[in-house]
């Protein structure tokens, strides 16, 4: 009797921003699970040599360099015919690719929080129209997403986003004027790109995540709490309406969140390291120092007032972070200058992509003029 082998169906994966931290972790997973995934497209911004190297490693010839060809992004994304796209692009530049992926009827594994912060309603609308899912890849939002899947949205009272506290968690505020770029880049837990490392140091990254969580999970500001957790093992928690807390714990690695998004809605066994409870494990939690790290407090104000402010918060922060990296401003200037920009008239509610892009441009121009 002739036995017929069942064909293995691989999930087709597009990786945007493949040379960054998320992209490289994703590529590592592609190599670890070659029977589950097939890379059908890779993009990078300007590092052509690395893009070609990753293309060879993934046996993928469908490569795209975006630096001088942003208008070609939509066509590149569409013709990959991917099942799911991982968007690991940094900053506001990731918004249009997020839209292109959803419009090309791909599920979106989203690590680009700026997309949701600046145009969350628009992205959710496109996803619903095309019956596609937006699955967060930030470790905190991935944790919340998975916990809500288990509990059910109607059972959730609030969510608790954990933060490492960054490199200045234990610094006295009096020392902040002396902070140098290399100090701010020295993250104690995660290995990340320069921009997100500075955001972690100012707690702007957590501020962006508060806004992102509101958009992703339809929550008010008062339903989102931030906790400083230096071990970065509890990635987030959810409190149910009966008062109980549920947490997602795993070693501090982005691979867990990426793999969860790629396999969703299935939960599959994997070979990733897990926690070792045969050893002592101490977990510490404390409230954030909102007065000492005002970028987080500003994010809550932005979320309460809404309008165009989330776009402005993100745009101004990007400009001032890059100015700090270039040593044009001090670390302590980032929140001061951001607040100045936010104090303008930003009550208008963006209804279309063009509105979002225009508000972002104006905010950047105003921020640039302050430097």
pLDDT tens sequence across 11-46: 999 999 999 999 999 999 999 999 999 999 999 999
Which residue(s) pair with 158 in the sheet? 239
With 0.85 as the threshold, say if the pTM is over it: yes
For residue 265, say if its preceding peptide bond is cis, omega within 30 degrees of 0: yes
Distances (CA, A) of 348 to 306, 356, 359: 9, 11, 9
Residue 193 exposure: Cα atoms within 13 Å on the Cβ side: 20
pLDDT of residue 3: 53
Q: How far is CA 192 from the centre of its chain?
A: 12
Give the pLDDT confidence of 167-218 residue by residue, as tens digits.
Answer: 999 999 999 999 999 999 998 777 778 999 999 999 999 999 999 999 999 9
Cα(191)–Cα(164) distance, rounded to whole angstroms? 13
Q: In what order do the strands lie in the sheet with 84-87?
A: 63-65, 37-44, 11-16, 84-87, 107-110, 134-136
């Amino acid at each position: 009797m002739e036995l017929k082998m069942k064909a293995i169906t691989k999930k087709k994966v597009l990786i945007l921003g493949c040379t960054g931290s998320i992209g490289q972790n994703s590529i590592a997973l592609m190599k670890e699970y070659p029977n589950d995934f097939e890379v059908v497209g890779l993009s990078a911004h300007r590092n052509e040599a690395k893009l070609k190297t990753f293309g060879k490693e993934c046996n993928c010839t469908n490569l795209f360099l975006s630096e001088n060809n942003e208008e070609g992004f939509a066509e590149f994304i569409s013709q990959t015919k991917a099942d799911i796209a991982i968007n690991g692009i940094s900053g506001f530049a990731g918004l249009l690719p997020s839209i292109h992926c959803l419009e090309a009827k791909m599920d979106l594994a989203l690590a680009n929080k700026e997309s949701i912060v600046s145009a969350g309603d628009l992205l959710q609308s496109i996803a619903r129209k095309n019956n596609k899912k937006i699955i967060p890849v930030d470790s905190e939002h991935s944790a919340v997403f998975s916990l809500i899947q288990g509990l059910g949205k109607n059972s959730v009272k609030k969510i608790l986003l954990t933060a490492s506290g960054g490199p200045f968690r234990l610094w006295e505020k009096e020392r902040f004027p002396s902070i140098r770029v290399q100090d701010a880049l020295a993250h104690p837990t995660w290995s990340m790109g320069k921009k997100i490392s500075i955001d972690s140091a100012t707690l702007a990254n957590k501020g962006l995540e508060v806004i992102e969580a509101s958009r992703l999970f339809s929550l008010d500001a008062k339903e989102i709490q931030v906790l400083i957790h230096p071990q970065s093992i509890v990635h987030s928690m959810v409190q149910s309406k009966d008062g109980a807390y549920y947490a997602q714990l795993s070693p501090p690695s982005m691979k867990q969140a990426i793999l969860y998004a790629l396999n969703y809605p299935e939960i599959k066994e994997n070979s990733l390291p897990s926690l070792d409870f045969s050893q002592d494990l101490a977990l510490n939690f404390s409230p954030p120092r909102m007065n000492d790290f005002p970028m987080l407090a500003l994010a809550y104000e932005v979320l309460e007032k809404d309008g165009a402010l989330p776009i402005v918060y993100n745009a101004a922060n990007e400009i001032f972070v890059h100015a700090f990296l270039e040593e044009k401003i001090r670390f302590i200037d980032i929140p001061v200058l951001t607040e100045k920009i936010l104090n303008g008239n930003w009550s208008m509610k963006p209804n279309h992509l063009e509105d979002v892009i225009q508000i972002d441009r104006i905010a950047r121009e105003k921020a640039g003029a302050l430097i």
